[in-house]
Structure 1
Amino acid sequence: MDELRRASITYYNTSTSKEKKLARKVFKAMDTDGDGRVGVAEFSNFLSKHGLKRFNQLNFFTQLDKDNNGYLDFDEVLLFYYIVRTRPGCDMCGTLIMGMYYSCVKCFSKAADSCDLCPSCHSLGTFKHRHAEFLDNYALLRKQRPSTSTSEAFGLGMDLGGLLTDIQNGCNQM
């Protein structure tokens, strides 16, 4: 969670003023009693009101509450805001995906129609989707990047395709 905390602060600090206002607005909407902090009941009520049931777990609140004081301050709510904005839920089991995940390559650019799977559901291979090609989020991002060769994608400065052919030929000769 520490890596996500740092990312959420960077996300906020480099966001547009409109995005920063939205983050502050979310905090104010949660802090219904106006005391500058969000308690468990306020957090739970906010999640229920906005249809964010997958986050409505005491364990999740506890993970957000870095200083363990039973309340969320702005930076802790900012982490929640960042997670909601950047982390998908698994389209098969509904689990919030905090780390690596798999996305349908064909649906990826269509945000409203994308399909994301947690590693467990992807590895089971029992999911039903109209397309078959799924890549993990890192590989998918790399695939979206223009590149003229495999070696450029890896930043190797050598012909990786030729190297792989040489390796395969060597294995075939054994």
Structure 2
Amino acid sequence: MVHFSLSALASILALTPVINAVAVPVEPFSFEKWIDGKISNPNGTHLTADEAYEAYMATRLDVDAGSLSKRATCNVHDKVAPAADAARAIDYLASIGNQDCKVKVTQRFSTWGNAEISGNGRGGATVPWVSKCNDIARAAGKVMDTCWRADGTVQGSEYAWGNGNIAVHVQRKGTTTVMD
């Protein structure tokens, strides 16, 4: 026969909230949501690029591996950029907000450290395709969320938010041949 003392039972019951708290899933950090927040409230309190990088690393879970949501195109070529540098380049684009980012053929929008955010215009336009730099930053944020590699690097592309005429690329600095 098993006998529990009152103090042992109290100890077991005291641990119950802790056990339940551990089971609550943590929502992974999203670079796309981080940029959306900065765009919707530029004067609000937001994470710095370094803090965003750390938040992503702390909550990095592949909870939506089976999701059918739209994903950026990820590349595994030798053009990978350090993810921390890419986060800073994206942060810069978000900081210039509603400024126009234009591209005819290829354009470098932002560089930081060994990362760059660049774009290609669809079909060799005679006049530049235009998106707000915020929308370029949102697309780059989706690349960060989707294409982050286990070694802390990232490379990929996504169309500018709301504009299928500009393909936005996150890659290693110096790998874009700018023709515009």
Give the shorter-chain TM-score range.
Answer: under 0.3
Question: TM-score under structure 1 normalisation?
Answer: 0.25
Q: Which protein is richer in strand relative to its size?
A: 2
Q: Which has the higher contact order (CA 8 A, sep 6+)?
A: 2
Question: TM-score under structure 2 normalisation?
Answer: 0.24
Q: Which protein is richer in helix relative to its size?
A: 1
